[in-house]
Structure 1
Amino acid sequence: MQLVTALLASLLLQFLVLPGQSQLVERMPGSVDQGGRCHCVVHLPSNAIPLQQLEKLQRTAQELIGKYEQELSRVSENPGIIDYHDNQALEMTYKLQSRSASASPAFYEAPAFKLLGLQLEGAQQLVTQLKAKGGVSGSENLLNQLQGQVANASFTLKLLGDSDKQSFRALHQEVDVLEGRLSECERDRKQGQTSSHRSPPLIPGSCAHGILQKVSRPLVVHLNWRGFSYKTGAWGRDSAPNSVSPLYWVAPLHRGGRYFDYYRLYKSFDDLVLLKNYEERKMGYGDGSGNAVYKNYMYFNYYGTGDMAKVDLTSNTLVLRRPLPGATYNNRFSYTGVPWKDIDFAGDEKGLWVLYATEESKGNLVVSRLNTSTLEVEKTWRTSQFKPTLSGAFMACGVLYALRSLSTRQEEIFYAFDTTTGQEHSLSITLDKMLETLQGINYCPSDHKLYVYNDGYLINYDLTFLTLQRQLPRTPVKRPFGVHAPPKPVKTNQPVTAFSP
């Protein structure tokens, strides 16, 4: 109501007191009659005061005022509407506090916020109607200025509402993530409490355990030092059991995802996290992300060949280069989603291994144990898994574990091959990942962790193995004299699929 009154007052003042009109009637000649009354004749221009237009403007203003007062009276006659909206706001606030899934109240839904928006809409409509019906010269500038101010106020109000919506949605998502993590922690705690006994901690470098049973959630250390564009690479800790120094290494590949040229060494995990006290080296002849570090030597595929290479990390010197018999190379049988990883090195409690494929195996994964001094193949096992269908593999206590991708956020360790017994096992152990592809996978016996290079990020996992139960010695059963025990069944061992290349 105040807005309408102020607008009409401004318009009437502008048209009733036009510039120069006071001087037209200020000094006009006239005469005085016998009664002392003054008479004069004034000839005004026909366009001095547009009476017809002014009357039209007054009628329009009266109509708008009447409509406005009518709407205002409707609101005053129904005070319960505001109480209803206030009760709705309180109910939505309570739902928000109780974290109901259907509740999403926010400031932009408050009755006061909506009422302010309606008032601005009414003011904008009023200005538009005045511009359309007024038709008075000189009023356009004032109405345009008023219309611009109302539009700016409406736009600012809309921005506030949109910003509040986005903030509320972001907060809602964060709360959902935190609730999910809390539920998972609570579930793990209950499972730990309901178990009959807790597994004793594994001795570093020990294989006194069974097959892999569980993988922890990923721990993201940080992005590799060369940046996000270096998505392919490998990293880890020296895979030799009971290593004297906890040497950590990071080897991002060139942006093409194949060429291995630089790497860094860290003497502690703290130095790795803080990116300090490192030694940066230039390599210049590595191929793919199948690197591994074992007893202070780095092993990798020599660029463009089927050769194995060995570099002394103390001096950064190539000390040995030897072909891997029968191995395919140049992206012939690499892992799915990870090109150029034809020859994949792995270290564990039982030595240094190399994982690859041959034409003879028709692309199936082959495992060979190497002599670390000469890189000669000591023994080889063939598996039933076609290497290009796997997303990666690693060794732990002489057991090969193979992975496949389930989605952009999960992998599955689905297959195991025991080189001691030659037997295969089916598994189903899910492994969460931050991004889509796992380029480098390395196991360390000293801490039983898995070190993964995940699209440029350095991630590790804690591995849990099946605990071997200690069996109490049996007391021999006393038998009567002359009664012999039945013969024991003869156990036959299955032949191990092994051959030397």
Structure 2
Amino acid sequence: MRALFSVLYPVISITVFGLYPSMTIGPKEGWQVYSSAQDADGRCICTVVAPEQNLCSRDAKGRQLRQLLEKVQNMSQSIEVLNLRTQRDFQYVMKMENQMKGLRTKFRQVEDDRKTIMAKNFQELKEKMDELQPLIPVLEQYKTDAQLISSFKEEIRNLSMVLTAIQEEMGAYDYDELYQRVLRLDSRLRNCMGKLTCGKLMKITGPVTIKTSGTRFGAWMTDPQASQRNNRVWYMDSYTNSKIVREYKTMEEFVANVVSRTYNLPFKWEGTGHVVYNGSLYYNKYQSNIIVKYSFETGRVLAQRALEYAGFHNTYPYSWGGYSDIDVMADELGMWVVYATNQNAGNIVIAQMDPDTLEVQKTWNTEYSKRNAGESFMICGTLYITNSHLTGAKVYYSYSTKTSSYEYTDIPFHNQYFHMSMLDYNARERALYAWNNGHQVLFNVTLFHVIKTEDDS
């Protein structure tokens, strides 16, 4: 190769322009351009120049030179073909590169879409889980309910067996005969109840809270003389400076606070020692020792009467105060009023009163201080007195009007709300009505009864 270039050097020159595009190299004088190759942009890659043919036509080496020129032309053509192929390949590569870039963009888009779709699907799953979360306690409850239903089914099967046995036993009797037996049994029970005499207080249980309403002090009651179908409730809030009485048709409506009627009394009351008896309200007139009888039916005062020597307006109240000097009561034996006088040294006086005329028929003087008593109530002609209106109170003292004697007792009861401002016995219900610090409550009582026999007169 070196020898070849040594031979060609004097007569041929190959100039490469592509490396220096800013340079313009022309052939020397007397030289002729035989061939050149250019790139796609028209830039010259190589140029072959040689002396003009007439300069060498007579040269002995002219033949060889022509042969070399032909080879150079062939090489130039080959280079041009190669350049074209290279340009074509370059364009193909550029096209492939653009396609690759497009694919990368699509892959990135797919990846982003995949993340978005996954995030969206995850969010949908989370929302679905959030919707299903509240069902868990429901399912737990369903398990409990299923067990309860299973237990109910078992009880029903047992009850069915018992009923079947009863039905088989009843099959031996005629229905009319059974009906007559029931009537005879009912008659015997009523006769037995009729022979129950007044009993002695043995126990107080409860309380049962019926309602929470009103102020700290007040009174509520039912009529012990009313029929079993008449269950009206009367409600008198506060211990003074009021004339409003609210009436409820039933205990249920009282609890629901459904007032059926409101009465505006002609006089204000004092204390909480009121009572409803045979359709009328009996109460202590404000700032006086007068008892007032007010008819709910007519809305009028039917009678008024002063209690002789009775203290009033916080002269001899119960231990909690509240102008509770005069306390009207009712029991199985009729109407009563409890108060205190100077003549009895402030001790409690019991008076039996005519419910129509309010005339005092008989009195009993006790030796129990009115101011030391928490509350009191009458059962079967016996006055029971509590030693306090606060927590720890108990029935401490009783006085029998039948024997005109007293005794100390120890009957506890639960002062649930710590302050008792009203305690009254209802003979029909055999229960104590109480106002316990803004709560209306009931106590059950247990009495010791003596049953009369045919030999008793």
- Does structure 2 conserve the Cα–Cα contact (< 8 Å) formed by 1:366 and 1:382? yes
Is the Cα–Cα contact under 8 Å of residues 365 and 383 in structure 1 kept in the other structure? yes
Structure-2 residue corresponding to 1:381 = 364
Matched, 1:432 2:432: no
Does 2:340 match 1:357? yes
2:244 to 259, 262, 277: 262
- 1:247 and 2:243 aligned: no
| Distance in 1 between residues matched to 2:400 and 2:432, nearest whole Å | 18
Residues 357 and 202 of structure 1, relative CA distance in 2, 3 Å threshold: farther
Gaps of 5+ in 2: 1-188
Name the CA distance, whole Å, in 2 between partners of 1:409 and 1:278.
Answer: 35
Partner of 2:223 in structure 1?
A: 238
Deviations 1:63-99 (A, max 9, x none): xxxxxxxxxxxxxxxxxxxxxxxxxxxxxxxxxxxxx
1:113-128 → structure 2 map (5 Å cutoff): none
**Aligned counterpart in structure 1 of residue 350 of structure 2, from 367, 380, 392:** 367
- The one-character-per-residue Cα deviations of 1:298-337 (angstroms, maximum 9, x if unpaired) are 1111111111111111233222221111111111010001
For residue 447 of structure 1, report the CA deviation from its aligned partner.
1.2
Residues 1:304 and 1:204: Cα distance change in structure 2 (over 3 Å): farther
Unaligned runs of 5+ in 1: 1-199, 475-501
CA distance, structure 2, for counterparts of residue 252 and residue 204 of structure 1: 36
1:7-86 equivalence runs, <5 A: none
Counterpart position of 2:13: none
One-letter code aligned to 2:441: I
Tell me the distance in 1 between the aligned counterparts of 2:350 and 2:262.
32
SS in 1 for 2:271: strand
CA contact (8 A) 2:396 2:411 kept: yes
Equivalent residue runs for 1:145-164 within 5 Å: none
Deviation at 1:384, TM superposition (A): 1.2
Of the three residues 204, 208, 230, the one matched with 2:197 is 208
Cα gap change, 1:268 to 1:431, in 2 (>3 Å)? same
SS across alignment from 1:415: strand
Q: Distance in 1 between matches of 2:328 and 2:212?
A: 23
How does 1:76-225 map onto structure 2 within 5 Å? 208-224=197-213
**1:417 and 2:399 matched:** yes
- Deviation of 1:258 after TM superposition, in Å, equals 2.4
Contact in 2 for aligned 1:334/1:388 (Cα 8 Å): yes
Identify the residue that residue 290 of structure 2 maps to in structure 1.
Answer: 307
- SS at structure 1 position matched to 2:387: strand
Amino acid at match of 2:221: G
| Residues 427-483 of structure 1: per-residue CA shift (max 9 Å, x gap) | 111110222221112211111010001111101111110132667979xxxxxxxxx
Deviation string, structure 1 residues 122-162 (Cα, Å, up to 9, x no partner): xxxxxxxxxxxxxxxxxxxxxxxxxxxxxxxxxxxxxxxxx
The number of residue pairs the alignment matches comes to: 267
Amino acid at match of 1:240: Q
- Aligned amino acid, residue 248 of structure 1: V
Report if aligned partners of 1:443, 1:449 keep a CA contact under 8 Å in 2: yes
Are 1:368 and 1:380, in contact at CA under 8 Å, matched by a contact in 2?
A: yes
Q: Percent identity?
A: 25
Please give the root-mean-square deviation of Cα atoms over the aligned residues, in Å: 2.6
Instruction: Find the counterpart in structure 2 of residue 296 from structure 1.
Output: 279
Q: 2:448 aligned to 466, 472, 477, which one?
A: 466
Distance 1:323 1:400, change over 3 A: same
4+ residue runs of structure 1 moved beyond 3 angstroms?
200-207, 241-244, 469-474
Partner SS for 2:252: helix
Amino acid at match of 2:233: Y
Which letter maps to 1:275?
N
Query: How far apart are the structure 1 equivalents of 2:444 and 2:200?
Result: 14
1:444 to 405, 426, 433: 426
Separation of aligned partners in 1, 2:194 and 2:237: 27
Counterpart check, 1:331 vs 2:285: no
The letter for the 1-side match of 2:427 is: P
Return closer, same or farther for 1:206/1:348 CA change in 2, 3 Å cut-off: farther
Residue 380 (structure 2) aligns with: 397
Query: Whose radius of gyration is greater, 1 or 2?
Result: 2
Q: Is the 2:372–2:388 Cα contact (8 Å) retained in structure 1? A: no
